[in-house]
Amino acid sequence: MDANTFLIQVLNGIQYGLLLFLVASGLTLILGIMGIINLAHGTFYMVGAYLAFSLSQHFGNLWLAMAGGVVIAVVIGLVLEWLLISRLYHRDHLYQVLLTYGLILIFEELRSVVFGDDVHGVAVPEILRVSIPLTETLSYPVYRLWMSAVCLVLAVGMYFLIQKTRLGMIIRAGAANREMVQSLGININLLYRLVFALGVALAAFAGMIAAPVASVFPGMGNQVLIVCFVVVVIGGIGSVKGAMLAAILIGLVDTFGKVISLEIGGVQLLPQLSGMMIYVLMAGVLLARPEGLFGKRA
């Protein structure tokens, strides 16, 4: 691998990692702040992608579709929290797992009823439909760079929201002590509802900006979900910083796992087993730091 290709691969890894971060950040917020494990998180990613598809057809414009999609996602989040999730705070995680597993089935079938099982494409907006030539054969699509930029902006925004604002302070306090926040006269139920809606919106938004490059297809949420779990486990529950670092780490490991050849004792390990790489990484992190890179020790 020459230096040029290597650098491009690093760019690929970071770019993939940033998108993963966007999906995983919602998951880690819901987990860390509300203590809710949400298996349907990947499903919201899928919902976002389908929203981008159907709304952009309706409006004829991806930007409008994204704005509308975020609003719808927030509404979905608020309704779900009010209707179902709010009943789970005092229940074992087990029930959260099951309820959200049920939600996966429901959303997948609803998707099938409403949109069918076709693969759909979403057009990249006109102004971003250009590529920057990097080598004589390879160019880099500007849309991907734009995606990365959006992810970075959101990451910084989230960091400020949580570390520097009053809302963030309350959120952080809520994560530590539900009763304490309640006693301060803050409506914790409303707070949790908003956090859940924010998480759903983040996942859906990730689905929307990924739709033009990923296309829209059944089952697209589930593969994202498990990778996001790995991101959260490596980064540490509730840590946005950890999620960022872990996502980029996974992006790089995944990228290089696919293109590097590794042979030990005559057995081809890579790229044969590249699918396992991120789990091996996770096992390693667990051995060294069971609570994740930036997790709080229980």
- Toward other proteins, which CB reaches closer, 70 or 254? 254
- Binding status of residue 200 toward other proteins by CB under 8 A: no
| C-alpha torsion sign, points 131, 134, 139, 144 | negative
> CA-to-CA distance for 271 and 260, rounded, in angstroms?
6
- Binding status of residue 233 toward other proteins by CB under 8 A: yes
- Binding status of residue 70 toward other proteins by CB under 8 A: no
Q: State which H helix or E strand residue 38 sits in.
A: none
- Toward other proteins, which CB reaches closer, 64 or 105? 105
Rg, C-alpha atoms of the chain: 20
HSE at residue 143, side-chain half, CA atoms within 13 A, is 17
DSSP state of 46: H
- Binding status of residue 141 toward other proteins by CB under 8 A: yes
- Nearest approach in angstroms of CB 190 to other proteins is 22
**One of 156, 219, 263, 296 touching other proteins (CB under 8 A):** 219
User: What residue type is 121 in one-letter code?
Assistant: G
- Nearest approach in angstroms of CB 67 to other proteins is 23
**How far from the centroid of its chain's Cα atoms is residue 152's Cα?**
13
3-state secondary structure of 260: coil
Q: Which residues, numbered 30-69, are part of the site for other proteins (CB under 8 A)?
A: 31, 35, 37
**One of 163, 183, 189, 223 touching other proteins (CB under 8 A):** 223
- Binding status of residue 217 toward other proteins by CB under 8 A: yes
**One of 82, 89, 120, 159 touching other proteins (CB under 8 A):** 120
Q: Which residues, numbered 248-267, are part of the site for other proteins (CB under 8 A)?
A: 254-256, 258-259
- Nearest approach in angstroms of CB 56 to other proteins is 13
| C-alpha torsion sign, points 15, 18, 19, 20 | positive
